[in-house]
Structure formats: C-alpha cells, structure tokens
Amino acid sequence: MKNKKVYCEPFTIEKGYNFEVHRVNYAENDDYSCFMHFHQVHEIIIFDQVDGVYFYSQGQSKLQDNDIVFTPSLETHDFELTPAEKSWHIIQFLPEFLEQQGLLEVADCFQHGMHLRLSDEHITDIKTQVRWLVAAYQQNPHSDKSLTLLKLLLIWISENAISVATESNQAVKNHSSYLRLKPVIDLFRHQACVDMNLDQAAGLCHLSPAYFSRMFKSVFRCNYSEYANQHKIYSAARMLSQTNLSITDISFELNFSSPSHFIALFKKQFGMTPKKYKTEIESRI
C-alpha cells in the first residue's frame, strides 16, 4: 500500500525561521491532498512537472511545466491536479521578510495571488537559483547566504516573470458567493478552529442552511463540515511544527472529541501520525 503524501500543506515555517524550502514529488497516480485553504505566510511554488488548474484570488488558470505560482498570506487558494507525475519546490516566507530585507519595491509585486511564466532562458536561471537556495538552507537557513539567495530569487521573479491570463473573468474574492460567505471565511482566516455547525454558520451570513451549503460548496468545492474538519487538521499540523504543545493538548485546543480521534483523522489526511510528523519536523531542523 502506497503512503499518502502531503500536497502543499502541512509545510510550515518553524518558529524563529524567516523561510523554509522543500522539494515535493509524486509518481504517477500517487495520492495527494489539497483543499481550498490559506497560510499565515507568503508561498511560492516553482513547478518542474505539473498538469492541472490553480484556483486563486484572481480566478483560475491552467498550469504547465515550469510555471510559478505565488499566494500571499491569508489568501484563499487551491490546486486540482491530474494523476500524472508531478514535482515542484515550495518556498514559504514571512510577509515581513520583504520589509526587513529592504525589498519594498519588490513587495509591490507580491500583493495578490499570481500565476507566472518565464522564458526558457529565465527558467534555467530560476532553477539554478533554487538549487543554490536549497543547498544554503540545508547548511544554515539563517545564514547571510540563505537570506541573500532568497532575496535574489524574489527579485528575479518580480523582474522577469509574466502573468498568465485567468480562464475565468471574475476574481474569486470578488465573486458574489465569496462576498456573501465572508463572515465565515474571516473566521477561518483568523481562528485555528471554527467550532460552529452548519446552521450557525449560515445564520452568521444571514442565509438559510440549504442556500449557505450550496453556496459554500460552489466556492470551496467541498461541503462546510468537510472544510471545517480539514481546517482543524491543517491547524494541528502548524501547531505541531510551531509550538511545543503535546498531541493531547493540541487535540483539546482544537476541540477534537479525544486525542485518539485527532490521531486517526490526522493519519487519514497526511498518511502519518502526529507524533511521526513532529519527529520528521524536528529531524530536518
């Protein structure tokens, strides 16, 4: 039986770090997991192989090999990929990194989600820079070399990448359904656990439960209860990597019915127990 791999999450920045970079790859027909979500950090994904669609604030667009996507902190996004072989590097960095490193001009380019494409010449340059960044990160993620290489990569992308046109005309965040759901969406953006049933969520948006449910699924492509559960699981992954809380403490902090229930759901989502995930995080640090 194949182990289930994690798609973009739960890679998260360890407390005290400015950024993290990881290589991700899947063989054909490998399982992967993703849902409409957001991060507390900025995220760049530089694809090697990919076939699918990127859903983000500006709409949706078709992905192809060597594309780049950027999603800023707290912006909702999702990917729908085919079973074909796929691979990429994922770089997550703190929003304040741009200001701290004097990259205010570059920061203007990274204000909203972007699907980007490079010329063949610049693809080679970017891939070389990513290899350098990974090597420097593995040696010392806090070194001047690591931070300088990340700065160079961000500058290179801002100066040379071209935006890919979206397939839909209306940005997700401006869609009427998204705007009607905003009271609930804001809760998910700012709380690790949204302990609210369907009727309560619908009431917060001044909608009937049935209409809310249809509207929510049209935006997030899963039903409300599924999303709420997955949001808790992804919050748990962040807490495992960024805090010293025990598995029992996290399970109660996020209102799981019991630690064993939390462990079972986490393993179903990510293919490993919370303990193993935390061990892997600590070993790479």
pLDDT for 250? 93
3-state secondary structure of 90: strand
On whether the 19-163 domain is CATH 3.30.460.80, my answer is no
Report d(CA 280, CA 285) in Å as an integer: 9
Q: How many helices (H) and strands (E) does the chain have?
A: 12, 9
Q: What pLDDT, on a 0 to 100 scale, did the predictor assign at position 171? A: 54
| Single-letter residue type at 8 | C
> 19-163 and 175-284: same fold?
no
* pLDDT, mean of residues 26-53: 84
Taking a C-beta distance cutoff of 8 angstroms, is the pair 19, 97 a contact?
A: yes
* pLDDT given at position 183: 92
Residue 68, pLDDT score: 97
Q: How many CB atoms lie within 10 A of CB 218?
A: 12
| Residue 172: predicted pLDDT | 56
What is the predicted pLDDT for the residue at 12? 62
Distance CA 281, CA 14 (A): 9
Tell me which residue of 208, 232, 195, 255 sits closest to 37, measured CA to CA.
232
Spatial separation of the C-alpha atoms in residues 271 and 76, rounded to whole Å: 24
pLDDT-wise least confident of 156-160, 200-204, 272-276? 272-276
CATH 1.10.1380.10 assigned to domain 175-284? The reply is: no
Question: What's the DSSP call for residue 48?
Answer: E
Structure tokens at 103: 């990259």
State yes or no: pLDDT of 3 exceeds 50: no
Domain ranges of the chain: 19-163, 175-284
**Count of CB atoms within 10 A of residue 280's CB?**
13
- CB atoms near residue 60 (< 10 Å): 16
